[in-house]
Structure 1
Amino acid sequence: MRKLIFGMNVTLDGYIAAPGDDISWGGPSDELFGWWLDRERAIDLSLYGRKLWETMSSYWPTGDQQPDATPAQVEYARNWRDTPKVVFSSTIDEVGWNTRLVTGDAVAEITRLKAEDGGPMGICGATLAGAAMRAGLIDEYVLVTHPVLVGGGTPFFTALDSWVNLDLVETRTFSGGVVLTRYETRR
């Protein structure tokens, strides 16, 4: 059975994007970017909601060709293209870059994918992750908390029908006061 991990940059007040889908507050340091690269290398399958897919696919397919790309950004772009991805959306017609589109029931498909053999899956995007949270499918939560308050926007956590008990398994501090906390779901 595969492990499902939900991890994103988040503001101190709990948002992954400020109003207007503004994520400019979350620019990572080289150290943090390297940590995200290592995490992404450990993921065997990435699951995306439409909105985050559109953001990522607008840059990373050619991110390694940008004149100012750092070696870590070059490697991230290559890894992003090579990693198998599934996009869940009923509003787009096609995807590229080693990606499969699912237009049906996301929870049923994630449940099926979790039951397969294989390495960890990363889930990306608030709406998709929220559905997986409510279904009890997420095994690990990774919050990379930035010291900024944005007052609103897209929350990291969704409303739940019942409590989810978690165990803290890792903490780490990065430059600029960014703090990683990683939790596993207590089953």
Structure 2
Amino acid sequence: MRKLTYAMNVSLDGYVAAPGDDVGWGVQSDELFQWWSDRVGSTGLALYGRGLWETMSSHWPTADQQPGATPAAIEYAGRWRDMPKVVFSSTLSAVDWNARLVTGDAVAEIARLKAEDGGRMDVGGATLAAAAMRAGLVDEYVVVTHPVLVGGGKRFFTALDERVDLTLADTRAFPGGVLMAAYETRR
């Protein structure tokens, strides 16, 4: 059985995107970028909602071919292209870059994928993650908190019908006051 992890950059006030889907508020560092790159390199399967897919697929497939691409960006782009991906959308008609499209019941498909053998699955995108959270499918939450208040936008956590108890599994500090905390779901 695969482990399902929900991991994203989050503002201190709990948002993954500011109003207007602005995600440019994060505190960048080489160390944090390498951490995300290593994470992508070790992901068995990435699950994307349409919004995050459109953001990622508009940049990373050719980021390594852009003038001035850093070695770290080149490495990340290759890892991202190689990583198997499933995109959940009722509006897209096709996806590329080692991805397949699912237009049906996301929760049923995530549960099916989770029951398979394989490496860790990461769910990305707040809306898709919210559906997995409400269904009790998320095994780990990795919150990478940036020291900024964006005041609104798309929340990391969704409203739940019942409490979910968590255990702190890991922490790490990054330059610029960014803190990563990983919590495992207690079952």
Q: When the two structures are superposed, what TM-score results if normalisation uses the length of structure 2?
A: 0.99
Aligned to 1:128: 128
Whole-angstrom CA distance in 1 between matches of 2:74 and 2:2: 28
Aligned to 1:53: 53
Structure 1 residue 40: Cα displacement: 1.0
Instruction: State the AA in 1 paired with 2:182.
Output: R
Gaps spanning 5+ residues in structure 2: where? none
Give the 3-state SS of the residue equivalent to 2:43 in structure 1. Answer: coil
Aligned to 2:172: 172
Aligned to 1:35: 35
Structure 1 residue 70: Cα displacement: 1.3
Whole-angstrom CA distance in 1 between matches of 2:72 and 2:12: 26
Bigger mean CA deviation after superposition, 67-76 or 154-163: 67-76
Bigger mean CA deviation after superposition, 55-64 or 22-31: 22-31
Whole-angstrom CA distance in 2 between matches of 1:184 and 1:126: 18
Structure 1 residue 28: Cα displacement: 2.2
Identity %: 72
Aligned to 1:62: 62
Whole-angstrom CA distance in 2 between matches of 1:98 and 1:129: 21
1:146 aligns with 2:156: no
Residues paired across the two proteins, number: 187
Aligned to 2:87: 87
Whole-angstrom CA distance in 1 between matches of 2:121 and 2:39: 11
1:78 aligns with 2:87: no
Aligned to 2:182: 182
Runs of 4+ in 1 over 2 A off after TM superposition: none
Whole-angstrom CA distance in 1 between matches of 2:73 and 2:164: 35
Structure 1 residue 30: Cα displacement: 0.5
Structure 1 residue 164: Cα displacement: 0.6
Instruction: State the AA in 2 paired with 1:161.
Output: D
Gaps spanning 5+ residues in structure 1: where? none
Aligned to 1:7: 7
Structure 1 residue 67: Cα displacement: 1.3
Whole-angstrom CA distance in 2 between matches of 1:18 and 1:62: 26
Instruction: State the AA in 1 paired with 2:105.
Output: D
Whole-angstrom CA distance in 1 between matches of 2:159 and 2:125: 15
Name the Cα RMSD after superposition.
Answer: 0.7
Aligned to 1:102: 102
Structure 1, residues 51-109: CA drift from partner, whole Å, max 9, x if none? 00000000000011111211111011001111110000000100000110000000000
Instruction: State the AA in 2 paired with 1:132.
Output: A
Instruction: State the AA in 1 paired with 2:31.
Output: E
